[in-house]
Each structure stands twice: as structure tokens, then as C-alpha cells.
Amino acid sequence: MPQPPVFDNSYARLPAQFFHRQHAESVPAPSLIRINTPLCTQLGIDKTWLESSAGLDMLSGRAFPDSADPIATVYAGFQFGSWNPQLGDGRALLIGEIVAPDGHRYDIQLKGSGRTPYSRGGDGKSPLGPVLREYLVSEAMHALGVPTSRALGAVTTGDTVYRDNALPGAILTRVASSHIRVGTAQFFASRDDRQALSALCDHVIARHYPHAADSANPVQAMLNAVIGAQANLIAQWQGLGFIHGVMNTDNMLLCGETIDYGPCAFMESYDPATVFSSIDHGGRYAYGNQPHIAHWNLAGLAQAVLPLLHTDEDEAVKIAQSEVNAFPERFVAAYQKVLANKLGLSDFTDSDDELLKDFLTLLKQEKADFTLALRRLAERASGRELVKTLWDFPSSFSDWLQRWDERIARDSQSSESRAAQMQRANPLYIPRNHRVEEAINAAYKGDFSPFNQLLEVIGQPFDDRGEWLDYARPAAPEEAVCQTFCGT
Ligand code: AMP
Ligand code: MG
């Protein structure tokens, strides 16, 4: 007999002001798009149950296993720098938490399951396109080794969702270590609800940073750990040319995983000013700005937890500042590790800055594809020539390549280990925007094979699969996607 998952709902045991108990809206005709088999295994979820009609009921919000305790959680946030005191799961529902066989606890959440008290003017629903985009990009990020929320499955609902057009509705089942945001702390801080803030920090510490409990100042240790996790995360984004697009404080998780794949996209030709989101007019969340925005958001977190850092306000401010001021340095240290791997160095030191800067200047001048250029560099280290058929360094790079040759000749590691390191750090396959669009457009016409095919390709981002090479190709001018949109 297939067995339903058993939920254990630690967030739902928090005080009442953290959430609203809520059921999903009924959907007329749910139909399965896909279940994520490896993730089922990792979570210890019985795949045959998930594929059964009871499983479809859960993925579409029709009915949940008895152990579920579905809630919409509340939070606030700074959206594009403007304070919004009242946000929350407006189109999402936390079904419950699962403790996986490895002991790790995960949230299982529906996204697009209908209205909640936090929906404000929205319908709580999601069209099919954003669900497929999130599925693809979050799974790509996972395969690329980036901490991220994941996709357990997706269904169409049989509903019509009205945006600019009438579109088929869908629901994504999202998995994350938790969905606790910087904006969650900001919600309670802004209401001066010291007790709730303290309960939230205790929960985050117990769940994500248990070592902080042993510290003389646990909330400071938690803040320190969140800042470290975010420094690592953003360093990985930068190394991949990933542009999140909506780095509002309600879209930044305290557990350090990437969340909310709305208008996100991967940069193709290198330019730090690259923006895709249709609503990011000022370029606030441009590629090159992401580390600064992360810093700003973390300052917001520090400010929110200020009353818990010290009973004396001046002391509390000093502690907060010392933690927040360390972010740039911690980011640079994390990014230097990423860069060392990408450039084939055993160690990236400040003296390599010049080499990097000149590389990036050339990339920008040549409008070179960020991903292909780095993968081609990895090929030079290994002697392979697959990417070369798509893109090779133009002559303007000759001097730079010679400098790089000299630099790696001075490096201590063997050429074999360098080649392997670069191959693992510089993907061949990313979810290119035009491919994601192509998969979505086909799905709107009822054909999910491009979606499934793309998912297979981006699941093996570092492999030299020559038969997939067309997926490594940047968009031709007529295919280029210049703008992306939120799911709303
Ligand atoms: P996001 O841009 O996805 O981070 O969403 C920002 C806020 O708007 C969150 O509180 C969402 O729950 C809410 N929201 C986004 N889309 C919808 C929708 N279609 N219906 C209700 N609430 C929504
Ligand atoms: Mg959000």
C-alpha cells in the first residue's frame, strides 16, 4: 500500500500571530505535469503515493494527508526599497514539514493554490508559465550546486487564470529548508512584538543554526550565520551570472537558500548592468548590484533583531554594525573561492584582481556570453574542444590568455586537477531564457516535451553532452528574451 508522507509541523506550533490556518481553493480538474523522482527519494516520500489520486489531491490542494496542518504564513518586507508592513503567503500554502531520512527538515509548500488573508488584491493563483519557469530554474540551480528551494512536482488545475490573457492555472509544490524570510523578522519588529521576534529567532536557531544556541549571544550568532550563508549564496549567483530580479527582503530566506524564481534569468553577454525584470526600472536588482542589495537587506535583518542583541540599545547597535559591516569582506572571500574554481587557480588572491578585471572588461567589450567564455576557458585547461564550435576567444583576448597561461603555470596544482576543477565550476548548460520561453510556449499549447527535455539537460550542467550542444547556444537576436515578468 502506498503510504502518504507524515508531516511534523514545527512552524504551525509557533504562536498564532505567525500564520493563518487555511485550506486551498478547490480546483476543477487537476492533472499531473511532473513529479521530481530524485527529490521524492531524498525526502523519503513514497513516489507511488504521490502519483496516486491521493497524491494528486495533495499537489493540487484538494485534500491533504491527516498529518498536514496547512497554513499561510505572515511576513512584511521592503519591496524595491519601499516598506510594505503587510505581506504574507498570498498565493502559497505551507502544507507542513517533512523530516527526511537524512534528518533534515523541509517545508512542503503549494504555490498558486488560491487566496489567503494575505492575498491583498490578488487571486492567489499562478498561470502555468511561472510554475514551469520556477520548476526549471530552481532545479537548474540545484544541479549547479547552489542552495535553493526545489520543485517536488507541478500540476495544472483546470482553472483559467486571468492576467493580460486568459491562461491555464497551475500549482507548484515547492520544497525549502524553511520559508522564513528577512521580512518575517521585519514583520514582528515593526509591530514591536518582542515575544514573537524572540520565538522566531529561537525557531530559526533550533532549525538552521543550532550551534548559535551555545553562543553567549545566540541572536548575534544567528545573525552572523545568516550573513555568512547569504555571502556564500550571492557569491554563487555572481559566479553563474544568475540574476534574481526581485531581491526584496521578503524574498530572502534566513536559511540561505535561493527563493522566489519570478523574473529571474541568467545573463548571456556579460554586462554588470544587466536587468531582465519588467518592473525593475532603476536597475536596483541588476546583476552587478546583487551583493550590495544583499548587504542592504541584511542590515534590515540586523535592525529587526536589534532589541534581542543587547538590552542596552547602543551596545545592540554596535553588535549589529560589526556583523553587518563584515558582509562585504565575507562576500569577497566567498566570491574569491568561486572565482578561483572558475579560473582554475588553487587560490584567488588580491593580486589576481587585475587579471579578473581585465577578463571582465574584455567580455564586456566583446559582448561575450559569460557562460560560454568561462566554459571555453575550462576547455583550454583540458584540451577539449566542444564549446569551441560555438564560441572561441577572439584575438582581442590573446594577451589576456597569455597572462592566464603564465598565471596557471605558477599555480601549484596539477593540470589534471585544474581541468577537473574548472569543468565542475563552469557549466555548459544553464536554463537559457529563450529555451525556458520555448518550453513554456509549447506547454501552453499542450506539449510538455520541450519542458521535460530542458529539465533533463539542465540537470547535468557540467557534462560534455555534445548531442545537447544547441542548448548551450546563446539566443540568436530574434530569439533573445529581453524582459521577464513576475508570476503575479
Ligand atoms: P513575490 O513578488 O512573489 O515575492 O510576491 C510578493 C507578495 O505578493 C507576496 O506576499 C505574495 O504572496 C503576493 N502575491 C503575488 N502574487 C499574488 C497573487 N496572484 N495573488 C495573491 N497574492 C500574490
Ligand atoms: Mg515572494
What pLDDT does 487 receive?
A: 61
262 C-alpha vs ligand 2 centroid, how far in Å?
8
Identify the band that residue 477 occupies on the pLDDT scale cut at 50, 70 and 90.
confident
Closest ligand to 122 CA? 1
* Radius of gyration for the alpha carbons in the chain, expressed in angstroms and rounded: 23
The residue from 89, 107, 159, 250 that is catalytic is 250
Q: Is 250 a catalytic residue?
A: yes
Q: Which helix (H) or strand (E) holds 20?
A: strand 19-21
Report d(CA 174, CA 252) in Å as an integer: 15
Nearest CA to ligand 1 atom 2: 486
> Could you give the CA distance from residue 358 to residue 397 in angstroms, rounded to a whole number?
10
d(CA 22, CA 115): 9
User: Residue 158, SS3?
Assistant: strand
Q: Which atom of ligand 1 is nearest to the CA of 486?
A: 2
Kindly give the pairing relationship between strand 71-79 and strand 82-88: antiparallel
Contact (Cβ atoms closer than 8 angstroms) between residue 456 and residue 413: no
Residue nearest to atom 7 of ligand 1 (CA): 87
Ligand nearest to the CA of 259: 2
Residues 459-469: pLDDT tens digits?
A: 999 999 999 99
Question: Which atom of ligand 1 has the smallest separation from the CA of 121?
Answer: 21
Q: Closest Cα partner for 113 from 174, 167, 55, 52?
A: 174
Question: What does the pLDDT read at residue 64?
Answer: 98
DSSP string, 379-429: HHHHT--SGGGT----GGGHHHHHHHHHHHHTSSS-HHHHHHHHHHHS-S-
What is the mean predicted confidence (pLDDT) over 124-143?
A: 98
Q: Does the pLDDT of residue 488 top 70, yes or no?
A: no
Looking at ligand 1, which atom is closest to the CA of residue 79? 6
- The per-residue pLDDT for range 172-210, each reduced to its tens digit, is 999 999 999 999 999 999 999 999 999 999 999 999 999
Alpha helix stretches (DSSP H) within 157-242:
182-190, 194-208, 218-240
Residue to substitute in 115, 280, 488 for testing ligand 1 pocket (most ligand atoms within 8 angstroms of CB): 488
- Ligand 2 centroid to 241 CA: how many Å? 21
Give the model confidence (pLDDT) of 405-421 as tens digits.
Answer: 999 999 999 999 999 99
Q: What is the pLDDT of residue 244?
A: 97
331-360 mean pLDDT: 97
pLDDT of residue 131: 98
Looking at residue 480, what is its pLDDT? 86
Q: 151 CA distance to ligand 1 centroid (A)?
A: 18
Distance (Å) from CA 192 to ligand 1 centroid: 25
Residue 55, pLDDT > 70, answer yes
pLDDT score recorded for residue 50 = 98
- Going by alpha carbons, the residue nearest to atom 13 of ligand 1 is 90
pLDDT at 258: 98
Q: Mean pLDDT, to the nearest integer, of 461-487?
A: 90
485 has pLDDT over 90: no
Residue 372's nearest CA partner among 428, 318, 410, 451 is 428
User: Which atom of ligand 1 sits closest to the CA of residue 250?
Assistant: 4
Distance CA 447, CA 339 (A): 39
**Cβ < 6 A, ligand 1 pocket:** 87-91, 118-119, 122-125, 246, 250-251, 260, 262, 486, 488
Cα separation, 338 vs 332, in Å, equals 10
Using one digit for the tens of pLDDT, what is the confidence trace for 145-164? 999 999 999 999 999 999 99
Enumerate residues 6+ apart whose C-beta is below 8 A from 261: 133, 134, 137, 138
Ligand 1, atom 23, residue with closest C-alpha: 90
Cβ-count burial 20-45 (b if 16+ within 10 Å, e if not): bebebbebeebeebbbbeebbebbeb
Q: Ligand 1: which residue has its CA nearest to atom 12?
A: 90
Average pLDDT, whole number, for the chain? Answer: 97
162 C-alpha vs ligand 1 centroid, how far in Å?
15
